[in-house]
Every structure is written in structure tokens, then in C-alpha cells.
Amino acid sequence: MLPWIALSLFVALAIAVDLRGHGAGAPSTRSALVWSLIWTAVGVAFAAVLALLDSGAHASEYLAGFLIEKSLSLDNLFVFAVLFTFFGVPVAQRNRVLLYGVAGAIVLRTGFILAGAAALDAFHATTYVLGALLALTAVRIARQGDEHVDPESTFAMRALRRVVPLAPDHDGGKLVTRMGGRRLATPLLAALLMVAAFDVMFAIDSIPAVFAITRDTFVVFAANAFSLLGMVSLYFVLEGMLDRFRYLNLGLAAILGFVAAKLVLVDVWHPPIALSLAVVVGALVVAALGSVVADRRAAGRAAASG
């Protein structure tokens, strides 16, 4: 129990530091890059802490889970960019929405992790169900291409409109405002709730991927928490570059396809953790290089035709 308390306190402190570190308004690209590197380094360093306090096996499992969650979080950023545009969230307020949304998502994901671990312990068949879910998710991500999320058509948005009346415009940085004697939620509050809701939806896909690496709930929780800590900074680093990663969906699909195979074949195939790490890193590198090459070719054709 002590490790859970210690890690929870550290995560809460890290969120406070992250919020204070960015200050008011959107951080500069340089500041966001520095903080993103800091939180990534902290996440990687926790593997060394596990190795010293527990075992090298758990450290390797954590590192593989952390890299999977970190890579899958890139897909979240595309959706967050769409949400901010849809709700017209001012740039100065985006770090606040992201940080509070991530904090809420960490709490909600903890419930998913504990429920998932209980299901896996009680029913071995759950392993195959999770494997099938990841396989379907891999196919969906591979096919998504240039499709865009329409927040208005989502179940979360429809439910929100039924429960909370929304004001048509922002009211500074307020989450709730008064209009005509009525208390209304501002678009900022709607964006905050949608960020958390979408992150939970992504968790349904990503948490089973980490369970394919390890069944230790503490390791799964740590991988999720540390991967989410740097998302605010990472968003501002990649905000203007998201459209350039045209093959990111294929890289993520390859990662999920691999871990789906691990779950489905759990009774007959036990690949080493090093292979999982190699697949995650390799898929992302190939997707990134492929995107760079495609962009250069597109630029060359545009220059030639111009």
C-alpha cells in the first residue's frame, strides 16, 4: 500500500509543478519542449527506481508499458486539437484544460486498471476478449487516415448537452457563467469534460495493451500516470506539427496489433520484454521516417508543378 500512496503523492505534486511551470497562458515552444523532455526523463527514470527497489523484470515491464502508453498518447493529441478548435478554446486557456483533464483521467484510469486486473484474475477468457478488442482497435486506427472527429456527434457531447445547458460564448476563464438568471456551463467547461471523456475512451484501448506486458496493477498504473504527466507540454510541442505525422496511425496500429497477438496467444507465446520494446520503438521510428519522406516528396512535386 505504501508504494501506491507514495506514487500517488508524487503524481499529485508533479501535476502541481507542471501547472506552475507553464504559468498562465500557452507556453512557448521552447518551454514546452524542455518540460516535455523533463517529464519523459522522469518517466524513464522511474524504471531505474523500480530496478533498485523491486526487480529488473518489473522495471523492464514498466518501461515497455510506459513507451506503449506514451506512443498511444500521441493519437490523443490529434483529438484534443480538434476539440479546442470546435469549442473555440483560447490558446491561453488550453494548458489549463489539458492539465485538469489529464488529472481527472488519471483518477478514472485507476478505476479501469483495478477493474481490469480483477477481471483478468477471475476469468482467463478476459485475456482473449481484451486481445480481440485491441485487434479491432488496431484495424480502426489503421483505417482512420484523414478522418476527423466530430465532437458534436459523440455520445459524450450529447449526454453533456442533456445534463448541463451550455452558454454560446466563453466568459474569460470561467467554467460556469450566468445568463438570463440561469447558470450555464461555458464552452471551456465542455472542452474540459470532453478532454477527460476522450482520454477515458482511449484508456479502454491502451490499458489492455499494458496488461499484455504485465499483470502487476502498480506497474500498469505507474506506466499510465507517468505517460500522461507530459501530455500538456507535448501537445504544445506538436500542436503545429500534428498534420505532418501522416503515418502515425499505421505505427500505432502496428503496436496494438502486436500486443493483441500477445494477448490472444498468451498460452503458447511468451515473447521477451526486449522484443516488445523493439516493436514499439521500431514502429514509431518507421512511421516518423515514412511521414518525413512523404512530406518531402509532396513538397518536391508541389515545387515542380509550381
Q: Can you give the pLDDT at residue 145?
A: 58
| Gap between the Cα atoms of 231 and 76, Å rounded | 9
Q: What count of other Cβ atoms lies within 10 Å of the Cβ of residue 204?
A: 14
Q: What does the pLDDT profile of the chain (306 residues) look like in tens digits?
A: 788 999 989 988 887 787 676 555 667 778 888 888 999 999 999 999 999 888 688 899 999 999 988 887 776 777 787 778 778 888 778 887 887 877 887 888 888 888 888 887 777 787 788 778 778 878 877 886 555 556 667 666 777 777 777 887 888 788 888 887 788 888 888 888 878 777 777 777 678 888 888 889 999 999 999 998 888 888 888 776 666 777 878 887 888 788 788 878 878 887 887 788 788 788 888 988 998 899 888 888 888 876
* CA-based torsion, 44, 195, 276, 33: positive or negative: negative
DSSP secondary structure letter of residue 166: B
Domain ranges of the chain: 2-305
Q: Identify the pLDDT of residue 148.
A: 56
Signed CA dihedral, 4, 46, 218, 196: sign only: positive
CA torsion angle 139 242 289 66 (round to 10): -70
Can you tell me the distance from the alpha carbon of 123 to that of 119, in angstroms, rounded to the nearest whole number?
6
Q: Nearest Cα to 198, choosing from 77, 65, 67, 40? A: 77
pLDDT at position 45 is 95
Structure confidence at residue 24 (pLDDT): 56
HEC sequence for 35-67: HHHHHHHHHHHHHHHHHHHCCHHHHHHHHHHHH
* Neighbouring C-beta atoms of residue 42, cutoff 10 Å: 14
The span from the CA of 256 to the CA of 131, in Å, is: 9
Instruction: Dig out the grid coordinates for 44 from the structure.
Output: 524513464
